[in-house]
């Protein structure tokens, strides 16, 4: 697997890597070296998203709380304090290289509710287009057990899936996936490549854990399952050395979880197999020809709408003769699409009172049948 051939990479950073050896402050030397690696990747034209833990740890440092036991509401408050400090460090370091950071805080609902999913996807892709580096964390200040991912391994995998990333890197306190926990079994062997999450592979993760944070090897396999199903490869490699990405590139030590499909094919497959369609969009001949050439579906090519559906719903696209030619994810609700059908994109804002996007269905969210 060639990391430098990727166009879009998500990097997940655990709390243990951000804490210095004393456990009493942020490991600024390590974070500086990580940002240097990120800068090098961006100079190669690779778009980077960072999923970073550490808000709670930073909050404890600032408020001098040490390892004191805390209630849930105290933890949520402390995370709010720590998050702004953490982002300050990222922004200050990136500014030194004329790069900008953006903060994105998520809960489980933000990636599962379809409308929120679409809004999140559009926001992240626009930030990447603007060469801004999103720094993502779970929104610990509002998340409860019912709406939590609970670990950033799975959150990072979901983000990788949302943005069609080529690779997800989990920087860990262990240098890959082993046949057993190498801390307890000296004969455990590193597995450099995993091409499927077989029962044998899953069994190897039982009882294996990392020293810090909320994730263990099992959550990393859960993350691999999410990433691979979205067409994204995943790498587990050692995060402790300075310049951890450069360290991997020099040593090539880690475990790749290889997906057998691309992100685009994964989405196309999901759309083709989608059984419950929320409605139909009927288009004119000009739009039919445009779709066949790989274009997005614009409102001007829509003749009519059937059914009632919300933004983010999966719908079929029909010709005037009622032949289904495509399926896709609607960028607008049926109510709004009816109002802008047949209209030019420049008229969307004046008709709806807001401007969402040019496309009724973006080509990335469309499959021709």
Q: Answer yes or no: do 209 and 312 share one domain.
A: no
Q: Is residue 268 part of a domain?
A: no
Q: Answer yes or no: do 321 and 258 share one domain.
A: no
pLDDT band at residue 207 under the 50/70/90 scheme = very low
- Residue 52, pLDDT above cutoff 60: yes
∠6-108-17 over CA atoms, to 5°?
A: 55
- Residue 208, pLDDT above cutoff 50: no
Please give the pLDDT value at position 337: 97
Average pLDDT over residues 136-143: 79
What is the spatial distance between Cα 45 and Cα 43, in angstroms, rounded to a whole number? 5
- Residue 4, pLDDT above cutoff 80: yes
Q: Is residue 47 part of a domain?
A: yes
Question: What proportion of the chain, given as a percentage, has pLDDT over 90?
Answer: 60
- Residue 281, pLDDT above cutoff 90: yes
CA distances from 209 to 115, 152, 172, 177, 238 (A): 35, 15, 11, 11, 14
The last residue of one of the domains, among 201, 232, 263, is 263
Q: Answer yes or no: do 44 and 184 share one domain.
A: yes
pLDDT band at residue 20 under the 50/70/90 scheme = confident
Query: Within a 10 A sphere around the Cβ of 355, how many other Cβ atoms?
Result: 11
Q: Is 199 exposed, middle or buried (0-12, 13-18, 19+ CB in 10 A)?
A: exposed
Q: Answer yes or no: do 199 and 294 share one domain.
A: no
List, in order, residues 6 or more apart from 246 with CB less than 8 Å away.
Answer: 37, 40
Burial 180-190 (b: 16+ CB within 10 A, else e): bbbeeeeeeee
Q: Answer yes or no: do 295 and 181 share one domain.
A: no
Q: Answer yes or no: do 58 and 118 share one domain.
A: yes
User: What's the sign of the alpha-carbon dihedral 108, 111, 115, 116?
Assistant: positive
Q: Which of 19-28, 42-51, 121-130, 179-188 has the lowest mean pLDDT?
A: 19-28
What is the spatial distance between Cα 66 and Cα 57, in angstroms, rounded to a whole number? 9
The last residue of one of the domains, among 263, 295, 319, is 263
∠363-364-367 over CA atoms, to 5°?
A: 70
pLDDT band at residue 24 under the 50/70/90 scheme = low
Distance of CA 236 to the CA centre of its chain: 16
pTM for this structure? 0.81
Query: Within a 10 A sphere around the Cβ of 17, how many other Cβ atoms?
Result: 23
Query: Within a 10 A sphere around the Cβ of 226, how many other Cβ atoms?
Result: 21
What is the spatial distance between Cα 235 and Cα 356, in angstroms, rounded to a whole number? 35
Please give the pLDDT value at position 119: 86
pLDDT band at residue 275 under the 50/70/90 scheme = low
pLDDT band at residue 322 under the 50/70/90 scheme = very high
Please give the pLDDT value at position 186: 86
CA distances from 133 to 11, 213, 270, 363 (A): 11, 24, 28, 24
Average pLDDT over residues 313-340: 94
Please, what is the angle between helix 28-43 and helix 72-95, to 10°?
Answer: 50
- Domain total of the chain: 2
What is the spatial distance between Cα 113 and Cα 149, in angstroms, rounded to a whole number? 14
Q: Is residue 48 part of a domain?
A: yes
Q: Answer yes or no: do 19 and 56 share one domain.
A: yes
Q: Which residue has the tokens 């979880």?
A: 257
**What is the domain-level CATH number for residue 349?**
2.30.130.10
The last residue of one of the domains, among 204, 233, 263, is 263
**What is the domain-level CATH number for residue 11?**
3.40.1160.10
Q: Which domain holds residue 99?
A: 3-263
Q: Answer yes or no: do 157 and 291 share one domain.
A: no
Q: Answer yes or no: do 145 and 247 share one domain.
A: yes
Average pLDDT, the chain: 89
Q: Which of 207-211, 264-268, 360-364 has the lowest mean pLDDT?
A: 207-211
Please give the pLDDT value at position 214: 45
Q: Answer yes or no: do 283 and 163 share one domain.
A: no
Tell me the three state secondary structure of residue 49: strand
Q: Is residue 29 part of a domain?
A: yes
pLDDT in tens, 77-135: 888 898 999 999 999 999 999 999 999 999 887 887 777 888 898 899 999 999 999 99
Q: Answer yes or no: do 229 and 310 share one domain.
A: no
Q: Answer yes or no: do 170 and 255 share one domain.
A: yes
Phi, psi of 165 (to 5 degrees): -70, 150
């Amino acid at each position: 697997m060639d990391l430098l051939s990727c166009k879009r990479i998500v990097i997940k950073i655990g709390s243990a890597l951000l804490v210095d050896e004393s456990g009493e402050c942020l490991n600024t030397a390590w974070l500086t070296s990580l940002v240097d690696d990120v800068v090098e990747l961006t100079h190669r034209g690779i778009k980077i998203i960072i999923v970073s833990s550490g808000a709670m740890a930073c909050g404890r440092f600032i408020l001098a709380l040490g390892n004191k036991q805390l209630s849930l509401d105290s933890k949520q408050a402390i995370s709010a304090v720590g998050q702004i400090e953490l982002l300050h460090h990222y922004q200050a370091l990136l500014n030194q290289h004329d790069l900008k950071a953006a903060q994105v805080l998520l809960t489980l609902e933000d990636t599962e509710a379809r409308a929120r999913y679409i809004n999140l996807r559009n926001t992240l892709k626009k930030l990447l287009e603007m060469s801004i580096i999103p720094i993502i964390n779970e929104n610990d200040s509002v998340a409860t057990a019912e709406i939590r991912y609970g670990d950033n391994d799975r959150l990072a995998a979901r983000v990788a899936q949302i943005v069609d990333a080529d690779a997800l890197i989990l920087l860990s306190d262990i240098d890959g996936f082993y046949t057993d926990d190498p801390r307890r079994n000296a004969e455990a062997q590193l597995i450099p490549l995993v091409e499927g999450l077989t029962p044998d592979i899953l069994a190897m993760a039982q009882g294996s854990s990392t020293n810090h944070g909320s994730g263990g090897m099992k959550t990393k396999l859960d993350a691999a399952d999410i990433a691979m199903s979205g067409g994204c490869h995943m790498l587990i490699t050692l995060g402790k050395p300075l310049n951890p990405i450069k360290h991997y590139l020099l040593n090539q030590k880690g475990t790749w979880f290889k997906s057998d499909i691309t992100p685009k094919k994964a989405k196309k497959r999901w759309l083709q197999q989608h059984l419950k369609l929320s409605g139909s969009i009927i288009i004119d001949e000009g739009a039919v020809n445009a779709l066949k050439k790989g274009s997005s579906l614009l409102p001007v090519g829509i003749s009519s709408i059937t059914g009632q559906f919300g933004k983010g719903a999966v719908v079929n696209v029909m010709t005037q003769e009622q032949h289904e030619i495509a399926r896709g994810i609607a960028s607008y609700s049926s109510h709004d699409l009816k109002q802008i059908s047949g209209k030019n994109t420049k008229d969307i804002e004046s008709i709806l009172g807001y401007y969402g996007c040019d496309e009724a269905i973006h080509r990335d969210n469309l499959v021709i049948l």
